[in-house]
Amino acid sequence: MILLNIDVPDLAAAERFYVDAFGLKVGRRFGTDVVEILGWPVPLYLLRKEPGTIGAGSQARTFERHWTPVHTDVVVENLDAATARAARAGARVEQGPQAVAFGRIASLADPFGNGFCLVEFSARGYDALV
């Protein structure tokens, strides 16, 4: 099993964003600092973390846009509609929909600096890369 955990400074705002941007729903709440979001193939857990607390190693958490080698790709059927919906919910569109070998992709960030991509696969999908 895989779980997706995303640190956020404002749990209520994050809950609204992920529900509105992706049509997900709230599952369980664990105290005041964790909410389970359902509707993807893996559960999403939003974790309230204060800015400046240690995130990994000795790096303090920052909720400005940041680079990470691990990010979320969300597969969608209609990239234009999904990009517009995420933007209306508060996402920052960093690179709008563009054609790639396996279909189309857009790069965005949630209101807390966490990057994600929206991917619309062509009929061949990743097989187009081989």
- What is the model's pTM? 0.90
CATH code for the part of the protein at 66-130 = 3.10.180.10
- Answer yes or no: is pLDDT of 62 > 90: no
Q: Do domains 1-50 and 66-130 have the same CATH topology?
A: yes
Q: What is the C-alpha separation between 80 and 102, in angstroms, rounded?
A: 16
Q: What is the C-alpha separation between 78 and 55, in angstroms, rounded?
A: 34
Hey, what CATH topology would domain 1-50 get? Answer: 2,3-Dihydroxybiphenyl 1,2-Dioxygenase; domain 1 (3.10.180)
The token pair that represents 24 in the structure block: 């997900």
* Domain segments of the chain as ranges: 1-50, 66-130
Task: Catalogue the E-assigned strands of the chain.
Answer: 4-8, 25-30, 34-38, 44-48, 54-56, 59-60, 72-75, 92-100, 103-109, 115-121
Q: What is the pLDDT of residues 83-116, one digit of tens each?
A: 999 999 999 999 999 999 999 999 999 999 999 9
The arithmetic mean of pLDDT across residues 10-15, rounded, is 97
